[in-house]
Chains A and B, each alone.
Chain A
């Protein structure tokens, strides 16, 4: 099972893992898998506890009163680079004690209150099967999908232009464009790793609706999954000059018994931070080793 260590190393090369640590450590005070220190996720972010179930109500209260800096068109100014400091690079999204392969995590799921993904009974064992037998798709340098783009490895740059919001990931030079011009979704038969996102503003909140997704993406390194019926809603709200409350609700009646929601802070990188090129597939020398014991994930109904 040593191969699992490679799975994490594929998702983050040594250099970028170091960068991730440098970014996340000062804010989150996290110490990865061996954790257990009393200070794990103890430091507040924007005056709120950083553990999602506590952060969520506190941040929502701040969102209701915070008046953000604005673009000339009046929309809140979220231009810049942002880090999902409590998401641990999407290693896991539920509570996890940490082991030799994946770091400690406190659930970033806020609804349902037990912090667990509400799988339908027939899928109860599927995540473990994924972890045991498949390579996390981002380990093969495929797109993260949505919403994992926002809380996945490393940081994202947001670019706001009139009628469009764009998210550029450091991971594998991937991007997502989100028209905010009231245009309709693309045809339903078109399926995209990053789906088709359309956004609109509700007060100071950017609300993004994403459809047309595939079942080729996961929600975490640990194997959380969905079908092509996944429908994602995301909400981005500034609660402080340097902190965004990010909330995302996932609906997928083929896999989940109810809608469920994750919430977490996105913290601004230092001013002038540039998201640089990260070739992934172009320099992916680990894949042949991964494929000795694990399969490529080709969806819940893989082609034959």
Chain B
């Protein structure tokens, strides 16, 4: 089987789980560990992409450009990438990150809105960096729609298009169908990004690779939004067992996970009730901490908020709907109390 390229996004997806609090020192240590382990691509930015430091998402404790600069200076072999969400970031932020030295950008949109990426994928190619299209919340659309959207990204010049299981709601069958559909119509790479809400992050990643995925994502110790991602060190261990030699050092990654990343994690990343209900309802994983905040403020159960967000078909970037839903549920309860 072909050897997939591994992108580690601990320093991007993981920032959701630690409320965007990465420091320069943590970034340096994690990048050094990944780089020494020979991980080829390391993603660094606010969890919501460049310029994501907002009330809606949460403000970065350290300016993300400082973290990106640290990553660029620390990495000896790895490419540094950033996430970019049109509307949150603008061309200006992308240019600035390229000036600092990122060599790849992953342009992320809800999986029906690929045409919004044209301006930025073209800009990335003009700036001579790698451009990856990121089709978020891919569980919401059938494979045909995803293939069509991926084709658009390819036509703008993308070097790869990812199926992104933002809600951790896909099962292996759904992953195989989607990855295969993209492989059938694209001449560029296809990638897969997992979340672990159903305990399938590694299984789905394996399913993607078996279906021909050229690139996959992981986070060290699963440090990502919500239920976390496929742990980078576990992906490498699993691929080793499958006889796929990525050239990445498992022992380096295990040390990094244990000694550097585990101490950063504020509360264990497990499939608790909140994360399972989120994945089951198909809700974006980075909503988790915001949902907990709203549940506490309005004296609600996070699960009922998750379920309603799922019903309303909330997508990435709609953290404001969490308050809206919580207010409505709280009002309903008040009304019930009066009956």
On whether the two chains bind one another, the answer is no
